[in-house]
Structure 1
Amino acid sequence: MSEIRWIESGTEQSAPWHSENGTPAPRRVVIADDRTRADTAYRLASEGTALLWRGDFHNARQLLRAMGRRTDRADTRRTGRTHRPSGAPDEAVPAEAFHSYRRDRERRARILGMLLMRLEDDHTLALGRAPDVQEACAQAYGPAERPRVVSLRELLGVIGARQWRIRGVDVPALGARVHAHYGVFSPVRGEYVDLVAEAPLPDPAAGGRPRTAFEIGTGTGVLAAVLARRGIERIVATDISARAVDCARENARRLELADRIDIRHTDLFPPGRAGLVVCNPPWLPARPASSLDQGVYDPEGRMLHGFLAGLAGHLEPGGEGWLVLSDLAERLGLRTRAQLLAAFGAAGLAVAARLDIRPRHGRATDPGDPLHTARAAEVTSLWRLTVR
């Protein structure tokens, strides 16, 4: 960890700085409390000065909301657009609108990330009306060892993730709930799960179903669990994220499938071949801004192209690779259908069939969503790929 420094009561103080998305430690830090006005806080944060909070916790949340409103108004004045609740509108060229939306969100995150909280060496907050955040912080950050300073915005995400982890997400295809850890993408969109639950299984050995399947980028392990429930004897699921590996193992145990799902901490493929290889990569070829964004954004399509390039070498004769992918990137002008098909061909793959499903999530029907036009037309597909 790097350190931040500030002056308090005439004395220089310091503490380790922690940021899950890799934001550098702020160079200038001042003390803020219940007397700090929202206009002052917004101005300082916009200029790159962080505010270490020493007042009431609930007042800090109110201040953060007020800073958010000022950021939104400033975006409207700067761009001349009428602000929508979620960001920039998408009436213009889709790719241009997407990048504009991302810039606005990054600027907003940067400003709101300047309101800071000091966690004590036992993951507590020494503030008035502060919630108990010890368990949430332990799950996100690991065992408490020493004080650390984090942004309030990140801390609220940690608290929210703890609640999601407790409640879980209902997965009808499993008849059970799946629980996501902090930093692991939750299966709140069920379309891709339904595709994997309903697609006809390949029959490489004329035995009715493949005996072994690989799942690449397992996340919570939900797709590996679906494959196990469909009768596949052995599933090897991989993920590059240690958090995802822990999360998937916990879900496999909870679902009583740990004896059939082998979860490994590795990038892309495990050794060997399988009759079915499934991958649901991040759908948008863009840079993630946080660990959670890695479930949505795939820089330059690294995971997509890595999966396609290695698939033929990991399929048993007669086996299939299932690529689950939204066409949102195509509708936003970030990738074309021709480029995707060309990538299949370059990897020596052929399309045996394709299953499509329309989105059911609320953003697809929300005209206030910044990317509404593209989301409303979005289609998620399961591409059944074979070796040519």
Structure 2
Amino acid sequence: MESTAGHVAQELLRQHEGISEPTTFRLLGLDWDLLPGVYAPHLTRSAALYAEWIPYPTGGSLCEIGSGTGYLAVTAAQRGCRYVHATDITSAATENIALNAQRHSVDDRVSVFKGDLFAPLPEGERYDVIFWNSNFVETLDSASGPNTAGTDDLRLAFFDAEYHAHSTFLRDAASRLAPGGRLLLGFTSLGNSAKLTALARDHGWRPKLLRGVSYDTTFGERIHYQLIELLPLAPRHN
């Protein structure tokens, strides 16, 4: 039987299939560009929530992993970040981020990098805040989840095979945080919170819920959206 998380993700993927041409959407009182093949943040409640919940480091730096359309990276620049680095693994998304940075006249403060998680970022660069709205739907292998033509890139926004991406994120994040920096994760009740906690501990972190709210979806499911801060584990005393 299909899991609740898998059901919701597949329904969202079906909605994305209808986006076959460049278009715009309205979010946070602004218009944004949306390219086909890029996760559409206006289709769920989480986008506006995270944009309001993130503690933007005024005058500091923010890195957004998996930025998609770039709405949050742009918002960070608008809210006073000195510079923002936005990454995404797909070409369509990195193009989309650049379009929205230009649309909202923050392309002098938002830099875009194509690649997986932290890999494409400048060597040695550290950030005051790192945020990732993660692909929280766990699958057993890379072939799990829907295989509808044209949705391969979008599947990466929803599905994480055996939480390999989460493990890599937790493993590499410490080397990318500035002293006193904050590591933040967008997550939901559809994710495997027990596995996330175990992976976090394996890599020296403990999850702390900062904000959360529940909403009913149009798919008949109730989802608890969460902003989680990952705090360093206290040093062990031998």
TM-score range, shorter chain: 0.7 to 0.9
CA RMSD of aligned residues (A): 2.6
Cα deviation digits, residues 251-290 of structure 1 (max 9, x gap) = 1111111111000112111232101000012121133423
Corresponding residue for residue 264 of structure 1 = 113
The reply to whether residue 384 of structure 1 matches residue 224 of structure 2 is no
Q: Structure 1: any 5+ residue segments left out of the alignment?
A: 1-95, 106-152, 204-208, 330-334, 367-374
TM-score, with length taken from structure 1:
0.50
Task: Report the CA distance between 1:210 and its aligned residue.
Answer: 5.8
4+ runs deviating over 6 angstroms: none
Change in Cα spacing, 1:281 to 1:200, as seen in structure 2 (3 Å) is closer
Instruction: Map residues 362-381 of structure 1 onto 2, 5 A cutoff.
Output: 362-363=218-219, 366=220, 375-376=221-222, 378-381=223-226
The CA distance in 2 between the partners of 1:267 and 1:181, in whole Å, is 20
Corresponding residue for residue 39 of structure 2 = 185
The CA distance in 1 between the partners of 2:20 and 2:184, in whole Å, is 30
Corresponding residue for residue 30 of structure 2 = 176
Corresponding residue for residue 95 of structure 2 = 246
- Higher normalized contact order (CA 8 Å, seq sep 6+, divided by chain length): 2
**Pick from 75, 98, 112: which aligns with 2:3?**
98
Contact 2:56–2:80 under 8 Å retained in 1: no
Change in Cα spacing, 1:253 to 1:97, as seen in structure 2 (3 Å) is same
**Pick from 200, 203, 223: which aligns with 2:72?**
223
Task: Report the CA distance between 1:177 and its aligned residue.
Answer: 1.8
Corresponding residue for residue 186 of structure 2 = 324
Corresponding residue for residue 236 of structure 2 = none
The CA distance in 2 between the partners of 1:189 and 1:210, in whole Å, is 31
The CA distance in 2 between the partners of 1:297 and 1:325, in whole Å, is 13
Change in Cα spacing, 1:258 to 1:200, as seen in structure 2 (3 Å) is closer
TM-score, with length taken from structure 2:
0.79
Q: Structure 2: any 5+ residue segments left out of the alignment?
A: 234-238
Higher Rg:
1
Cα deviation digits, residues 196-239 of structure 1 (max 9, x gap) = 33336276xxxxx3611111111111111121122111000111
Matched residue of 1:295: which SS? Answer: coil
Cα deviation digits, residues 10-40 of structure 1 (max 9, x gap) = xxxxxxxxxxxxxxxxxxxxxxxxxxxxxxx
Contact 2:210–2:227 under 8 Å retained in 1: yes
Kindly provide the amino acid, as one letter, of the partner of residue 98 in structure 1.
S
% identity of equivalent residues: 24
Corresponding residue for residue 55 of structure 1 = none
Instruction: Map residues 122-133 of structure 1 onto 2, 5 A cutoff.
Output: none
Give the structure with the higher percent strand: 2
